[in-house]
Structure 1
Amino acid sequence: MNVKLKPLADQVLVITGASSGIGLATARLAAQRGAKLVLAARSESALKQLVGEIRGKGGLAIHVVADVGREDDVRRIAAEAEAAFGGIDTWVNNAGIGLYGRLEETPVDDMRKQMETNYWGQVYGSLEAVKLLRRHGGGAIINVGSEVSERGIPLQGSYCATKHAVKGFTEALRMELEWDKAPISVTLVKPGQIDTPFPVNAKNHLSSEPHHVPPVYAPAVVAEAILHAAVKPVRDVYAGGGAKGMATMAHLAPGGIDRPMEKMVIPGTPSGRPPLRPIEQNGLDHPSERLEERGNYEGHVMRTSLYTKAALNPLPAAAALVGTGLALFAARKFLPHRPAKIGGSAGAGTAKALHITLEARPGREDEVAALLDGILAEVEHEPATRPWFGLRRNGSTFEIFEAFPDEVGREAHLTGAGAALLMERSNALLSKPARIDRLDVMMRKGEVKTITPVSGATVPAERH
């Protein structure tokens, strides 16, 4: 059934988890665009502050103090929304809580409590939304899943389980409503790593403060995806190109990504800093009274996602680095070292070399060249970490060479704008992927003193 949704300015939105992170960013953006809001969270003080902020700018919002893990609280959200506005148009199930720790060291009671919020909260919200939307002519249900709805990761196993459950429930609900020809769209939004207070508010059973593993995106990237789904029916959307890359690898090579994921996430999640607060002060057991949209991630944060923009507003794709290649690029330091097509002496040093080969779609070669030139120009602007690099084109075949003088520079580059830009500009072409005849990623560990690529490619000489 073709579901027609109202313009955002004509809508009433329910947003759970509205006092922090993604929910807060979505509430603020929806208010700016004229929507009427029903904002739900556990912290009354934070909600009152947010409603005051929105009303002070001419918006219309009410708040409902609720714990979405309690079915009666969710029913009260629906009742107050209907009493205040006569119905709703979109219900956003966003509330969620983090839980860090090895599964063997995480209390089952904590896992159960997390499931009550992250999964049952979305079940209760979705079912209440269906009732309201059936009565009032239809609308949208938007459930916030995660990139880990597609792929489990270590140290957040319980969280992954909740988001897998959300995905299964959302897909089943969508099909049942389609079968009924109900005028209700059901969307699953799958964010990647987002710079919100999620790690700070999570209950943490690790020995140090957790933080995100890059690439990391601003909350506005997810808010834009959610509000797009409120006005245009879409089955699902990845918020952040990194999420798409990881999901693609998980589907194409589930076993092959296990070891790289272990090496990237297990040492990469603990920050090495002492926990910011005692374990008793956590968002699983107590609501946060702080109205905070952004977290404390210290690396580069992508303010926008070209992939997500392209996926929501598809344009003819010039070419694509398929998700496999993107995930390999993101995780290249953890992959088995293979001989690279880069000449030069290799000793026992710590520098890394990378060679990527891709085949562009016929007729789109110049667009691919412009894309890759822009990426390398961004890398050139990283004076502290600038690698040796080069780009070669032979008809529709493109080759990228990259090498670093030492491990420190390489590590800094991986969390900088250049690496993130490669992910995003490449992923932006995935909304309508073109055929890739060849994609090869080869690496070598060793000291690279001179770089002389095959077939006469031009690469800068060693920099000091």
Structure 2
Amino acid sequence: MPQTVVITGASAGVGRATARLYARRGADVVLIARGRAGLRAAADEVGSLGGRALVQVADTADAGQVEAAADAAENAFGPIDVWVNCAFVGVFAPFDDVTAEEYQRVTDVSYLGFVNGTRSALKRMAPRDRGTIVQVGSALGERSIPLQSAYCGAKHAINGFTSALRTELLHRGSNVHVTVVQLPALNTPQFSWVRTRLPRHPRPVPPIYQPEVAARGIVYAADHPRRKQYYVGASTVATLWANRLAPALLDRYLARTGFDSQQVDRRPPSGRGNLFEPVGRPQIEPADRPQDGGRGAHGVFDDAAHPRSVEAALARHPLATASAIAITAAAAAGAALRRRGRA
């Protein structure tokens, strides 16, 4: 039986890249987003790669729409096995340049959208005592940066909410799993879609990875959900440890570098962005390179983005990594003993 996988934010970026991976497995993929054009293109890709797709136009900030999409998913494909919460929006601006309405919207989608998706998934998974929920998090949920206060707040909230839910599931002895995948900076269309008040074009803070790196981490986490968190990209791990070891120093560093590092010398995107309405397909496709399979998933930073993450690959193969470390350590110890014997 093929897996039934629900992905929110599936029309572009990480969600779309994740849909492709599941399609290659032959999964039944339920695609949820606001933009019809992007969803139709994603559905065509899923079909061409060997999966079956169901398009559900929904705003994840609306719990009723999410619940209706979950009903449609199970009516079409049967019980949901994996639910991936990935949809988000943001605003690039200093806090006092973000309106109350904008802040509310970011919170409604980027935090409460995850709550709504989790509620609909758990409602179906809990009675069956099986299923996996994957929260797509961010290094910014561990360490906030300037100019993205609403998004950082939402990602921190997801971590707190998910930790509370996990302990409740453990208390019940439930076999439903929930895990978080913390992502690095990614080359997705969001930087050309986002609402911004910056003087220059927003960009992800280097090092930048391609969305396929994130997608591989998400699928692996869904397959191995017993760990409460997965970290994709060496920069995510470095950010976590820097924040734990020297948070005040990191504050000062980000105050000095965090504004320029999130902008590139080109004109900022025109228009109001995708905060309240989805953007049209013509605005995203020129940014992608059809020959690399990145249409709809990639942003405008292909030339600066890494297609692989060594750290993430090692995390996906812990036994092989541990064995390699042990062999290397043994070889080094043996060499040291031989040198000592000759001395």
Where on the TM-score scale, by shorter chain, does this alignment land: which range? 0.7 to 0.9
Distance 1:37 1:199 in 2: 26
Structure 1 residues 195, 77: closer, same or farther in 2, change over 3 A? same
Deviations 1:338-365 (A, max 9, x none): xxxxxxxxxxxxxxxxxxxxxxx96465
Distance 1:144 1:88 in 2: 18
Of residues 64, 86, 91 in structure 1, which corresponds to 2:83? Answer: 91
* Residue 63 (structure 1) shift: 0.8
Does residue 228 (structure 1) correspond to residue 232 (structure 2)? The answer is no
Of residues 250, 270, 280 in structure 2, which corresponds to 1:289? Answer: 280
Question: Partner of 1:260 in structure 2?
Answer: 253
Does residue 304 (structure 1) correspond to residue 308 (structure 2)? The answer is yes
Task: Answer yes or no: is the 8 Å Cα contact 2:187–2:302 preserved in 1.
Answer: no
Does residue 316 (structure 1) correspond to residue 322 (structure 2)? The answer is yes
Deviations 1:278-315 (A, max 9, x none): 3x2x0102112336100111653111111112123212
Distance 1:248 1:10 in 2: 39
Distance 1:145 1:274 in 2: 29
* Residue 97 (structure 1) shift: 1.1
Deviations 1:187-226 (A, max 9, x none): 1111010111121111101122111221011111111111
Does residue 103 (structure 1) correspond to residue 95 (structure 2)? The answer is yes
Question: In percent, how many aligned pairs have the same letter?
Answer: 34
Superposed CA RMSD in Å reads 1.9
Distance 1:219 1:297 in 2: 11
Question: Partner of 2:268 in structure 1?
Answer: 275
Deviations 1:134-170 (A, max 9, x none): 2334110000110011011011111100100011011
Where do residues 370-385 of structure 1 align in structure 2 (5 Å cutoff)? Answer: none
Distance 2:241 2:46 in 1: 39
Distance 2:279 2:331 in 1: 50
Report the secondary structure of 1:14's partner residue: strand
Question: Partner of 2:52 in structure 1?
Answer: 60
Q: Give the TM-score normalised by structure 1.
A: 0.65
Distance 1:34 1:71 in 2: 29
What amino acid maps onto 2:185 in structure 1? Q
Task: Answer yes or no: is the 8 Å Cα contact 1:98–1:201 preserved in 2.
Answer: no
Q: Give the TM-score normalised by structure 2.
A: 0.88
Task: Answer yes or no: is the 8 Å Cα contact 2:114–2:158 preserved in 1.
Answer: yes
Distance 1:298 1:14 in 2: 27
| Structure 2 unpaired stretches of 5+ | 282-294, 334-338
Structure 1 residues 318, 56: closer, same or farther in 2, change over 3 A? closer
Task: Answer yes or no: is the 8 Å Cα contact 2:202–2:263 preserved in 1.
Answer: yes
Structure 1 residues 105, 88: closer, same or farther in 2, change over 3 A? same
Does residue 74 (structure 1) correspond to residue 60 (structure 2)? The answer is no
Task: Answer yes or no: is the 8 Å Cα contact 1:97–1:114 preserved in 2.
Answer: yes
Question: Partner of 1:425 in structure 2?
Answer: none
Task: Answer yes or no: is the 8 Å Cα contact 1:88–1:136 preserved in 2.
Answer: no
- Which gives a bigger RCO, structure 1 or 2 (Cα 8 Å, sep 6+)? 2
Structure 1 residues 110, 260: closer, same or farther in 2, change over 3 A? same
Distance 1:241 1:55 in 2: 34
Aligned residues: 316
Deviations 1:37-92 (A, max 9, x none): 11100012221222123223442111100000001111011110111122100000
Where do residues 384-395 of structure 1 align in structure 2 (5 Å cutoff)? Answer: none
Does residue 211 (structure 1) correspond to residue 203 (structure 2)? The answer is yes
What amino acid maps onto 1:311 in structure 2? A
Where do residues 110-149 of structure 1 align in structure 2 (5 Å cutoff)? Answer: 110-149=102-141
Task: Answer yes or no: is the 8 Å Cα contact 1:114–1:159 preserved in 2.
Answer: yes
Question: Partner of 2:292 in structure 1?
Answer: none
| Structure 1 unpaired stretches of 5+ | 1-8, 320-360, 367-394, 396-464
